[in-house]
Structure 1
């Protein structure tokens, strides 16, 4: 039964990654950043996972790539001549929220434009089961929050962290998501 298992606490993660730069998906406020900071204080946030992979190959420092296993193209890092997996672990994401500049869902337009990274976008069907909306894909949940703050869209699915950073209102909290994460290193 799943309840018999538990998520590791930060103190239980391996400590040999602490001297590495962890390259992952940015900008600040993503789940990827949240998890990377559990492993190391040295975190490099980039526009997408592919840019993070390029970073670990371009830097002279010890660097690892951290990718959420919900990422639709993670297979490209597993099946690669340049990178290989060196570790995988579970870590909950921060809470995901439907966020907006509006103070309540009823204040949104009849057919709102809602931004989300592809991975959590299906949460909209649970949050707004009978509503018509237009999904606008973003490169990350933090980018979705920024789009909302800039009024490019009416609302977004984002992390609670990014919601607060962008000064948005959390209209609905979906809770944390138990996530499998993989660390990749460059091949010799």
Structure 2
């Protein structure tokens, strides 16, 4: 729990707001949606968040291909909550949506990011001049601070998908996180850092009322 608290900082009032979203009745389940597939930073933070508030057994994490699909599922009542990082460039649309309500904001550092390849791929710095790095758009600016010279980048919908595209041979190098590196049996060839991030948990508005579990 000490490691969780170090990487996840949820003020008391925000923690109370989160805990209020999870009913005491174990028969009432709560689904929280965020970006998938397995191995994303969003999934990692969602699990840390649940551990921080006591790891309720009646909560299920649902992973979607995009944050927009998370929000569609939230509005439609398929899930109860959605977790989105503030680095996501289109998060403003979720704040403006009349059917959604931000219920908690907190700080959570991602797993370590870096460049990863398949274990059998021969990597050196020169490869970065000719090859393409696959990444989610959000962490791409890290390349400017950790790699000398311009880098050709292809983007996908998540850091986990970037790792998967390297694992299946579509690309040779991914900018991805430690979680996805382990998930897809890759290896880091350059380690960068964790990304300090803030996150919002959204709930659904219905007929002017707050989330049904609040």
Sort the TM-score into its range (normalised by shorter chain). Answer: 0.7 to 0.9
Partner residue, 1:181: 199
RMSD across aligned C-alpha pairs, in angstroms?
2.3
Matching of residues 1-188 of structure 1 within 5 Å: 8=8, 13=15, 14-18=18-22, 20-40=30-50, 41-59=59-77, 63-101=80-118, 102=121, 104-106=123-125, 108=127, 110-130=129-149, 132-188=150-206
Structure 1, unpaired ranges of 5+: 1-5
Instruction: Report the TM-score, using the length of structure 1 for normalisation.
Output: 0.86
Contact 2:8 / 2:49 at 8 angstroms: preserved in 1?
no
What CA distance in whole angstroms lies between the structure 2 residues aligned with 1:110 and 1:8?
Answer: 36
Contact 2:101 / 2:202 at 8 angstroms: preserved in 1?
yes
Instruction: Report the TM-score, using the length of structure 2 for normalisation.
Output: 0.76
Of 114-123 and 39-48, more deviation after overlay is shown by 39-48
Structure 2, unpaired ranges of 5+: 1-5, 23-28, 51-58, 207-214
Post-superposition shift, 1:15?
3.1
Larger radius of gyration: 2
Contact 1:66 / 1:183 at 8 angstroms: preserved in 2?
yes
Greater fraction of residues in strand: 1
Q: How many residues align?
A: 181
